């Protein structure tokens, strides 16, 4: 029996549960709290920032992996020193936890990115803004996600609060070129400790207010050149950062044709939820296989198109299940995923995927089902 | 929150767990023993033949359904009288539990079957054999499955032991014509309490030693007439027997062209496992939806073909997971399902499905993966 331990009880751990069950592998979750999204597989509740908590959990499984990227590196390094298998390993996760470290490493690998600079004072920030058309994207290197820790700045004064509290963000901020992009793309892939690598079709992601809203698989009208570039980038990142498990590389397709790396995630990712129904092997099954160092599965699409629409909470009373009679009757091809989280405005509470050989049908059905569910 | 209670902790309850999780519905299992196949969702362990055990379980859920057909009718009738929702209801299950009752009801509905007779003594059996070409299929009306409780008889003497113990089988035996069939077919469908009905594509099932070995979806080269007949039969059985949830109708395609009903199952069935990957809505998701009286999902195929191969235990040391490195590397498109049961020769321990637009590829890959796994 192979036993996989997942730190974090969110929807990603929840969605790793079915493929582990199908494969007959054991899955155990260390959740932050009782009643988490990954409740069914939760075997321990505790604080993942405490070494003794994580160590006790690690003793019950064969390999540790993650629902999120927030476990402190010293905790993971201590476990690794004790012989615990951690996938992705701390040396890879270091780049996912710190955007500045990530930019430096991608730069050393010669990979294409927006212009960027490490910022430690107002003068440096102003200089970056001035030399990049009067605007910059400013990010806190650690702790940001889903649009949090990101700000558009047009003068150093726009960041005076962050600049006054630099130690809280690791001592520096990250300034990036505001890319004039025509769309955002994501390349999902997976890599085993042994090096085996497989990538899914390139997808287009559509964001609203900094949060992923819709994913189109495959990315419509991607040129051969784009497909070649994005596949090569994913492979270079996976190998260069020694990622194990699923890797999501979010990219901009700039108006001038450049493909530029935006963000990385070293775990199953929102841009890959389509793969549950849309691929022979889902990102959740692949992650379980990769972190267990089992051979990877085919990432071929099942149908020509898959469309995923996120269900972001509208208010504190959202109840998708209440809307099932109407939503499921009107949209029999919609695959509805509800994460079992309490409702809250803006919260990722579920998603809908529709697979079809007809792209327009898939988009209309997924959006239609989501609209009904969100009224629930 | 809708909560579905499944009686029985076998692989069918196990495979109902992922779709319940995806839909955000609660699933609870009353298992026969600790460590059952449906362990992850097991909330109670007890004897399903005891009313008090089942009643206590029923109080924790919104609806009761089944992993098997062996819960005594008086237990279910008592619960129904107390207002518990049971799907399929006892009045439908009565036909699944007793093959003689089933034959009588199907006869009253005018549905096509092999010639049959209720047998209470040797003379009646000999007469049936004599008028059916010197051979008959003799079945115990209750308690048979996977080839158990079924015997080919060429004289009444071949059944002297059963005839001497008639009360144990409900007082009668069921004799059936030994159909000269070219192949076996199965029509899977689902029906809600409200009457909504959906059917999957007709499949061909290949049996070895009375146990399902391979399922081909769709059934190769089925004529329009056959498809029309089998669809009509499934609908007539579902409506006529007031089945709720998934219904599997196993049929013979006789050499003379007749389609004849062989067996019924009122639950997800081995002939429908292909639907996990091969259909927009799997039989397990559909069963959960149907018994909860939620609208049914599309039963469209995802790819042109799906092939399922059962993993029947070879000996007491089978360990599929041990064979994963070799099996998954050689067959990346194989979707392996391992039921978490202890190994035993002939036991249904898992299955492999391959979906593809190429039927020959799907069959070869599924059989290839199964062969490697069974060596594990």
Q: Which fold has domain B115-176?
A: Dna Ligase; domain 1 (3.30.1490)
Chain A residues with CB inside 8 Å of B320's CB? 24
Which residues, 6+ apart, have CB-to-CB distance to B255 below 8 Å?
B180, B181, B182
| pLDDT given for residue B147 in this prediction | 64
CA distance B319 to B340: 10
Low-confidence residues of chain A: pLDDT under 70: 1, 144-147
| pLDDT given for residue A147 in this prediction | 64
Q: What is the tens place of the pLDDT at every residue in B330-370? A: 999 999 999 999 999 999 999 999 999 999 999 999 999 99
Of the candidates B1, B17, B280, the beta carbon closest to that of A333 is on B280
C-alpha distances out from residue A212 to A176, A374, B275, Å? 20, 16, 30
Burial class of residue B190, CB neighbours in 10 A (0-12, 13-18, 19+):
buried
Q: Where in chain A is the domain with CATH 3.30.1490.20?
A: 115-176
The H-assigned helical ranges of chain A are 11-23, 51-58, 73-81, 90-97, 99-108, 122-130, 160-163, 224-240, 275-278, 283-291, 320-330, 359-375
**How large is the average pLDDT for residues B180-184?**
97
Is B301:B201 a contact under the CB 8 Å cutoff? yes
Q: What is the tens place of the pLDDT at every residue in B78-123? A: 999 999 999 999 999 999 999 999 999 999 999 999 999 999 999 9
**ipTM score for this prediction:** 0.94
Of the candidates A24, A302, A339, the beta carbon closest to that of B303 is on A302
CATH class of B181-375: alpha beta
| pLDDT given for residue A142 in this prediction | 85
Chain A residues with CB inside 8 Å of B289's CB? 328
* Cα-based torsion angle of the residue sequence A268, A270, A272, A276 in order, rounded to the nearest 10 degrees: 90
| pLDDT given for residue A1 in this prediction | 62
CATH code: domain A3-86 is 3.40.50.20
Q: Where in chain B is the domain with CATH 3.30.470.20?
A: 181-375
DSSP reduced 3-state for B310? strand
Of the candidates B302, B329, B350, the beta carbon closest to that of A24 is on B350
Decide if A324 and B281 are in contact by the 8 Å CB cutoff.
no
Q: What is the tens place of the pLDDT at every residue in A113-129? A: 999 999 999 999 999 99
Q: Where in chain B is the domain with CATH 3.40.50.20?
A: 3-86
* Chain B: closest CA distance from residue A336 (Å): 6
Residues of A in CB contact (< 8 Å) with B are: 1-2, 14, 17-18, 21-25, 40-41, 276-277, 280-281, 289, 294-298, 300, 302-303, 320-321, 324-325, 328-329, 332-333, 335-340, 350, 355
Decide if B298 and A22 are in contact by the 8 Å CB cutoff.
no
Q: What is the tens place of the pLDDT at every residue in B44-63? A: 999 999 999 999 999 999 99
């Amino acid at each position: 029996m192979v036993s996989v331990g997942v730190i974090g009880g969110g929807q990603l751990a929840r969605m790793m549960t079915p493929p582990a069950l199908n494969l007959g592998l054991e899955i155990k979750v260390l959740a932050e709290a009782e009643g988490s999204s990954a409740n069914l597989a939760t075997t321990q509740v505790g604080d993942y920032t405490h070494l003794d908590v994580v160590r006790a959990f690690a003793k019950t499984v064969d390999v540790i992996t993650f629902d999120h990227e927030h476990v402190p590196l010293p905790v993971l390094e201590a476990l690794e020193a004790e012989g615990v298998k951690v996938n992705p390993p701390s040396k890879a996760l270091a780049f996912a936890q710190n955007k500045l470290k990530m930019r430096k490493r991608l730069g050393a690998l010669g990979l294409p990115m927006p212009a960027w600079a490490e910022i430690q004072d107002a003068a440096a920030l102003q200089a970056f803004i001035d030399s990049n058309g009067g605007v910059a994207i400013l990010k806190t290197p650690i702790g940001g996600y889903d649009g949090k820790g990101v700000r558009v700045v047009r003068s150093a004064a726009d960041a005076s609060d962050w600049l006054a509290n630099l130690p809280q963000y690791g001592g520096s901020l990250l300034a990036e070129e505001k890319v004039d992009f025509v769309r955002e793309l994501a390349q999902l892939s997976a890599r085993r400790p042994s090096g085996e690598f497989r990538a899914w079709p390139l997808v287009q992601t559509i964001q609203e207010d900094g949060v992923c809203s819709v994913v189109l698989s495959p990315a419509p009208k991607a040129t051969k050149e784009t497909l070649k570039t994005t596949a090569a980038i994913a492979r270079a990142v996976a190998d260069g950062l020694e990622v194990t498990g699923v890797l999501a590389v979010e990219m901009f397709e700039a108006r001038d044709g450049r493909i530029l790396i935006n963000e990385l995630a070293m775990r199953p990712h929102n841009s890959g939820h389509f793969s549950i129904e849309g691929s022979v092997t889902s990102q959740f099954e692949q992650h379980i296989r990769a972190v267990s160092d089992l051979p990877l599965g085919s990432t071929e699409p099942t149908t020509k198109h898959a469309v995923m629409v996120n269900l972001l909470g509208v208010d504190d009373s959202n109840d998708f299940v209440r809307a099932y009679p109407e939503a499921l009757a009107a949209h029999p091809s919609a695959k509805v995923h509800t994460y079992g989280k309490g409702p809250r405005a803006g919260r990722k509470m579920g998603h809908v995927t529709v697979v079809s050989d007809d792209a327009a049908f898939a988009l209309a059905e997924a959006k239609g089902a989501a609209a009904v569910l969100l009224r629930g």
